[in-house]
Amino acid sequence: MLGACWFNGGCEMSGRQSGTRLGVALAAAVLVGTALMADAQAPVHGGQGTTPATASKTAGEAFKNVRVLKNVPADQLLPTMQFVAASLGVECTFCHIQGAFDKDDRKEKQTARRMMQMMAAINKDNFDGDRDVTCYSCHRGSPAPLTIPVIAAEEPRPAPEGTAAAAPALPSPDQLLERWAQAVGAEALKKVTSRVQKGQLIGFGGRPAPIEVVAKAPDKRVSVMQTPRGESITAFDGSRGWLTGREGPHPMTAAESEAAKLDADLYFPLHVKQLFTGLSVRPSEKIGDRDAVLLIAANEGKPPVKLTFDAQTGLLLREQRYADTALGYNPTQIDYADYRDVDGVKVPFRWTLARANGRFTIQVGSTEQNVPVDDAKFVMPAPPSPAGQPTPK
């Protein structure tokens, strides 16, 4: 599983190709995934990393044999590949030969290239060019799309009588956010200047790893995970995000930084109205055994952020975010649980981050607030710049 491979800090892909410029870029991008996956509240753009060398290039310029996606920004190629793999429910090696991603030897890769053209044509000819049909629309997590309707294993249960009438009226976005602010403890939250959480990251079938998440008002955040290979860091310094990988610390891409900025906002429950121009409330399915309400927060031209609240407590249960790629959105879902009172503020002590290719949970053991935190903790150290590693401009 790709997730596991990120967690361990090195896919064969990065190992075998290292030394070449492409290899360095790929290794960096894969390792960006490592650090991102290390942090439950890190940006959703799993693996959507890049070295500065590829930041302004197109995929056609940065990679050897990209023909259909050649005008896509180079740093979107790997997220796009993750979208394709998730849509078909396959590993990279379904289409690629390990260590030679540019080769066209596998017929699945050639089919995939034709499918990309087909998808573009379907959308152009039928949906005004909107991306209404994607790989996932047909494939649904399988290489072989179905053509025949499935007969359900069980008789569908009739809905209990009166459920339609019993559906409660939805609150307005303002009411929902006001409720959240109260539930969190808005007045107490405004007095919080820093938060230090220590716990464990559990996931990928590995041993739990110690992790520390430090936040400082208004918008600095760093998480440091101890791995057998050393520290894995994801951070936002107040203006941009950065993370560590085998090649040393890297700045995040603009899109990653934007998501990291949201996560770093210590007063996020009080800022939603300022951060998004479009807010709407929808009914939600239950989450676990909790009745829930969904708030969709959007800005023009960007994928939305979905926030699902506990209908009883008013606290945030789930956040869903989407990273745009050339072919569709890659989803990230963060589920919050185990809320405890810290100095009058409700703080989640457990969160689980899930993507199409893996999930992990952070369980916090201790939370301290208003302790002094040195700003230096959030600043990206100078990269070691080994041979072949481009230094940031």
Per CB under 6 A, residues contacting ligand HEC are 2, 63-69, 78, 81-82, 84-85, 88, 90, 92, 94-96, 101-102, 108-109, 111-113, 115-116, 119, 133, 135, 137-139, 143-145, 327
Q: Is 350 left (phi over 0), alpha (psi -120 to 50) or beta?
A: beta
- CB-based contact 33:45 (threshold 8 Å): no
Instruction: Please report, to the nearest 10 degrees, the dihedral formed by the alpha carbons of residues 343, 232, 333, 364 taken in order.
Output: -30
- The two three-digit tokens of residue 92, written as one number: 């990279």
Q: Tell me the C-alpha distance between 359 and 291, whole Å.
A: 24
Please choose, from the candidates 120, 112, 107, the residue with its C-alpha nearest in 3D space to the C-alpha of residue 139.
Answer: 112
Shortest distance, position 300 Cβ to ligand HEC, whole Å: 26
Q: Of 327 and 345, which has the nearer Cβ to ligand HEC?
A: 327
Q: Of 96 and 179, which has the nearer Cβ to ligand HEC?
A: 96
Shortest distance, position 298 Cβ to ligand HEC, whole Å: 25
Shortest distance, position 269 Cβ to ligand HEC, whole Å: 35
Q: Of 327 and 353, which has the nearer Cβ to ligand HEC?
A: 327
Shortest distance, position 146 Cβ to ligand HEC, whole Å: 9
Q: Of 131 and 302, which has the nearer Cβ to ligand HEC?
A: 131
CA distances from 13 to 93, 98, 133, 156, 328 (A): 10, 6, 30, 46, 24
Please, what's the b/e burial string for 131-141 (b: 16 or more CB within 10 A of its CB; e: otherwise)? eebbbbebbee
Shortest distance, position 354 Cβ to ligand HEC, whole Å: 17
Shortest distance, position 23 Cβ to ligand HEC, whole Å: 10
- The two three-digit tokens of residue 220, written as one number: 């600095």
Write the burial class of residue 297 (CB in 10 Å: 0-12 exposed, 13-18 middle, 19+ buried): buried
| Rounded (5°) CA angle 319-92-29 | 65
Please choose, from the candidates 62, 76, 358, 38, the residue with its C-alpha nearest in 3D space to the C-alpha of residue 226.
Answer: 38
- The two three-digit tokens of residue 168, written as one number: 């409660």
Q: Of 48 and 369, which has the nearer Cβ to ligand HEC?
A: 48
Please choose, from the candidates 260, 257, 250, 261, the residue with its C-alpha nearest in 3D space to the C-alpha of residue 52.
Answer: 250
Shortest distance, position 82 Cβ to ligand HEC, whole Å: 5
Q: Of 90 and 275, which has the nearer Cβ to ligand HEC?
A: 90
Q: Of 92 and 176, which has the nearer Cβ to ligand HEC?
A: 92
